[in-house]
């Protein structure tokens, strides 16, 4: 039996996933049940355009928050928390501690993009 080997891992945002599904849709013409349900979900929850999303990711990376990795930034961009408390809840799922000052910086950076949805 062939054992696939993972060469690299990179988290992708919901917007990137939606674009990949659109490529598959063009190629295959018809989606299977799971991809159809995923596309439906993304239609409800993807809120930023690709350009705004890339700009937000760069802005969050420039904050240089210690211990904040790509996977954390991706999750923050997908959910777009509006308050420090919401951001804390998102980061509770990971083994990361971010001080209150940095949490406020992140939320302030997100406020600009909350109005730019789609």
pLDDT in tens, the chain (118 residues): 788 898 988 999 999 999 999 998 888 878 889 988 999 999 998 888 899 999 999 999 999 999 999 999 999 999 999 999 999 999 998 999 899 999 999 999 998 887 665 4
C-alpha R_g of the chain: 16
Task: Read off the tokens for 48.
Answer: 């930023």
**What's this model's pTM, rounded to 2 decimal places?**
0.83
Which of 78, 34, 46 minimizes the C-alpha distance to 60? 78
CB atoms within 10 A of CB 69: 11
pLDDT in tens, 52-73: 999 999 999 999 999 999 999 9
Task: Read off the tokens for 38.
Answer: 């995923």
Task: Read off the tokens for 113.
Answer: 């993009």
- Average pLDDT of the chain, as a whole number: 90
Check the CA dihedral 96-97-103-109 and report its sign: negative
Task: Read off the tokens for 47.
Answer: 């809120």
Task: Read off the tokens for 107.
Answer: 């939320």
């Amino acid at each position: 039996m062939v054992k696939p080997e993972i060469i690299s891992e990179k988290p992708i945002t919901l917007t990137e996933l939606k674009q990949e599904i659109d490529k598959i849709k063009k190629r295959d013409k018809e989606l299977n049940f799971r991809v159809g349900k995923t596309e439906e979900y993304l239609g409800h929850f993807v809120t930023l355009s690709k350009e705004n999303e890339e700009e937000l990711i760069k802005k969050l990376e420039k904050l240089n928050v210690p211990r904040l990795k790509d996977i954390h930034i991706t999750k923050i961009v997908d959910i777009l928390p509006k308050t420090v408390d919401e951001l804390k809840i998102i980061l509770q799922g990971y083994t990361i501690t971010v001080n209150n000052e940095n949490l406020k910086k992140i939320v302030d950076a997100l406020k600009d993009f909350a109005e730019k949805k789609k």
